[in-house]
Amino acid sequence: MPKKPAAVDRADAAKSARKSAARGAAPTKPKAASKRASKVATRVFTPLADEAPTAALSEVPQAVYGRLSRAAAPLTAYDLIDSVQKQLKRRLHPPTIYRALSQLVERGLVHRLESGSSYIACASPGEPHHSILFVCTQCGTAEEAVDNRVHGLLQEDAAARGFIAESEVIEVRGRCSNCSLPN
């Protein structure tokens, strides 16, 4: 039997991260910060009302999402095109894949890594959240941790300088727990 898909492992990791985030969350935002933060709150990955986060997706986004959910490491549009073509048994052009990806990002099902223009399936689709992406430069895997504390601090810093933050992507690059083990 093959190993469980990585998405499941990521989901577990995110779950425990969320728990610790909830414990450590300090809801002591200054008034000015929360006022400004409300502008940004709309940018949080907003889930759709339906139970299945992939409901109502057309076949290309559906196939792209399926492939990303099974991937152990982030994939680029070019990584995706081959397997999606095979699965759908027809030729696809890169813009079709990019459109599917941006649709998935918009729905909060997929996150785009700023470094390397690659994508991972969200570990907590269907829940609004702010995440931190931990990217291993050795094996190429990426893990998503949901952590609203860091988001709160960034909002405070932005508010203190009168800056209205519209988006944020937090990526931490380094070595994952497997790659940092001594041989």
Contacting residue, 62, 69, 131, 155, with Zn ion by CB under 5 A: 131
Shortest distance (Å) from residue 13 CB to Zn ion: 11
Stretch that binds Zn ion, among 47-55, 72-80, 121-129, 164-172 (CB under 5 A): 121-129
Shortest distance (Å) from residue 144 CB to Zn ion: 5
DSSP label of 75: B
Contacting residue, 25, 88, 139, 153, with Zn ion by CB under 5 A: 139
Strand partners, 119: 75, 112
Residue 13 near residue 145, CB atoms below 8 Å: yes
153 is a contact residue toward Zn ion (CB under 5 A): no
Task: Quote helix, strand, coil % in the chain, to nearest 5.
Answer: 45, 15, 45
Angle between helices 31-41 and 148-160 (to 10 degrees): 110
Q: How far apart are the first and last CA of the chain?
A: 27
Stretch that binds Zn ion, among 54-62, 86-94, 150-158, 172-180 (CB under 5 A): 172-180
Applying CB under 5 A, the residues found at the interface with Zn ion are: 122, 131, 136, 138-139, 176, 179
